[in-house]
Amino acid sequence: MRSLPRTQQGLTFLSIAFILALIGFFTLLILKIAPIYINHSRVVNAIKAVENTTDIVTKSKSEIKTSLEKRFDMNYVEHVTPEDVTIVAQPGYVRVEVDYERVERIFGNLSVLVEFHEGFEAGNK
């Protein structure tokens, strides 16, 4: 009795190369973007620490800015400049906002832009 020929099973070289290229691209993307979000979590922790400071509403604008900069230094925050921090301090009211963006080059002319907006309000206007 004659047996039917078995059909080929598996992937071709091109399909394996395509799958490996996709895996490599997404791995590169993760390796480039993950540090941006790790840095952002440090920014959020510093802002929360300043927000939880006792009598934050009685502090002056320069005291709040100094406290925030010290926490940024302690947490090794990068890519946040003093121009990115906006502080409104009035008697009994404080608003702190940190708005910054980060552009990370992936390869060639391909880049990723990530924008962050964080802050808090304390006291009564």
**11 Cβ contact list (under 8 Å, min separation 6):** 19
- Burial label for 69, CB within 10 Å (0-12, 13-18, 19+), is middle
Confidence tier at 3 by pLDDT (50, 70, 90): low
Mean pLDDT taken over the chain = 90
Buried b (16+ CB within 10 A) or exposed e, 80-99: beeeebebebeeeebebebe
What pLDDT sits at residue 55? Answer: 87
Distance, CA of 23 to CA of 25 (rounded, Å): 6
Which long-range contacts does 116-119 make (Cβ < 8 Å, 24+ apart)? 116/40, 116/43, 118/40, 118/43, 118/44, 118/47, 119/47, 119/86, 119/95
Return the H-helix or E-strand segment holding 86: strand 85-90
Side chain identity at 69, as an amino acid letter? E
pLDDT digits (tens, 9 = 90+) for 21-31: 999 999 999 99
What pLDDT sits at residue 1? Answer: 57
The tokens for 62 are: 């320069």
Hey, where are the domains in the chain? 13-123
pTM of the model: 0.80
What pLDDT sits at residue 124? Answer: 82
**27 Cβ contact list (under 8 Å, min separation 6):** none
Where is pLDDT greater, at 5 or 14? 14
Token pair 């906002």 is found at 97
pLDDT digits (tens, 9 = 90+) for 54-107: 888 889 999 999 999 999 999 999 999 989 999 998 888 999 999 999 999 988
